[in-house]
Structure 1
Amino acid sequence: MAKQFPSLEPHHHRYIEAQHMFFTASAAPTGHVNVSPRSTDMFRILGDNAVMYLDRTGSGNETAAHLRIDPRLTIMFCALEGPPLIMRLYGKGRVIHRGSTEYAQLLAEHFDNDPPLGARQMVHLDFDLVQTSCGYGVPLFDYREERPQMDQWAQAKGEDGIEAYWREKNQVSLDGFPTGLFDSAGS
């Protein structure tokens, strides 16, 4: 039942825009595989073969560490309401660092120059394969709202507290790989 496409088609755009959550999957050649749930409020479609999301502070920074070593990245959406469908975008990801010209341009173009407190970087995916499958096994859930805790946590920490948190928790992955969070060159 799986179907493959070389790029997003118009109905794929509509499907993504209707979702409230997506997952990222990344891995280095060794160590742990990372799968992270994310809200689509920070997700943007850049074209039929490119997407990005503004990455907010988390307890770790595994995706950034993995992408420095191996650019493979998969983004998955699964319909939790409405008709069943799973969609995966397979490609190569990269981190766009705060303070870079590209970050500033994307922030202006897609977020009205207004990042939420705690925005630490952006993740960009160029993909060459879109795969959909039935999603019959995905249970139905009703979306209520975004959780307020991320914003509350960031407001309580403030900019200096968030940076201190990044320095303590977000510079090295679970497996000891550097994340490059403070490397404005992105290397």
Structure 2
Amino acid sequence: MASIFDSIDDSLRAWIDEQPLWFVATAPLGADGHVNVSPRGHDSFSVLGPHRVAWVDYTGSGVETIAHIRENRRVCLMFSSFGARPRIVRLHGRGSVHLPGEPEFDEVVALHPEHPSTRAVIAVDVTRVSDACGWGVPVMEMTDERDLLRLRAEQRGPDGMAAYRADENATSIDGLPGFP
């Protein structure tokens, strides 16, 4: 049985900070749309308060998270312990997208290492916090972060990244507006 919490307290924040991998799930409003679940890593996630979190969103092969949040704001984040102590935590809420030059973008980006693939900040007003046992999750060991995203972005350079986003991130797989 899942436990429901009123907010993200210091203990939960510390546990979230320890997790090297987490997932974000979104979906469009249309019944024929695709549910999207994306893995996230690197030093990109911040707990901003007891009911607010955000992460630095990197340029990727798709733009579903941004498109879905812009359409309906619904989002669920899932953190899972792969260490000895099993645990799963889900943060449900309403997301918003913040672009370079906006105060929230600047605030969150400043909390993390600079990354040449940064395209936006996603902030979430958390409406529900729950945890579950995680007994079925395997125990695994974190060995390293992949640096491929950084290397590819550095290869492309700022102009190449802008061109890539214009070509590959303009619309979601469901045809929703993505990254400007």
Query: Is the TM value for this pair above 0.5?
Result: yes
Q: 2:10: which partner in 1?
A: 10
In 1: Cα distance, 2:43 partner to 2:18 partner: 11
CA contact (8 A) 1:51 1:126 kept: yes
Residue aligned with 2:43, SS: helix
1:33-88 Cα distance to aligned partner (Å, 9 max, x none): 01000005100110111110000110001011001111111000000112000000
User: How far is the alpha carbon of 1:8 from its aligned partner?
Assistant: 1.1
User: How far is the alpha carbon of 1:11 from its aligned partner?
Assistant: 1.9
User: How far is the alpha carbon of 1:115 from its aligned partner?
Assistant: 2.7
1:5-47 Cα distance to aligned partner (Å, 9 max, x none): 1211222112101100110000111200010000051001101
In 1: Cα distance, 2:164 partner to 2:16 partner: 32
User: How far is the alpha carbon of 1:103 from its aligned partner?
Assistant: 1.6
After superposition, the Cα gap between the structure-2 partners of 1:49 and 1:127, relative to the gap in structure 1 and judged at 3 Å, is same
CA contact (8 A) 1:22 1:40 kept: no
User: How far is the alpha carbon of 1:171 from its aligned partner?
Assistant: 1.1
Q: 1:87: which partner in 2?
A: 89
Q: Percent identity between the aligned chains? A: 37
In 1: Cα distance, 2:107 partner to 2:79 partner: 26
Give structure 2 stretches of 5+ with no counterpart: none
Q: 2:19: which partner in 1?
A: 19
1:107-142 Cα distance to aligned partner (Å, 9 max, x none): 33x23xx63101000000111211000000001110
In 2: Cα distance, 1:93 partner to 1:178 partner: 16
Matched positions, count: 178
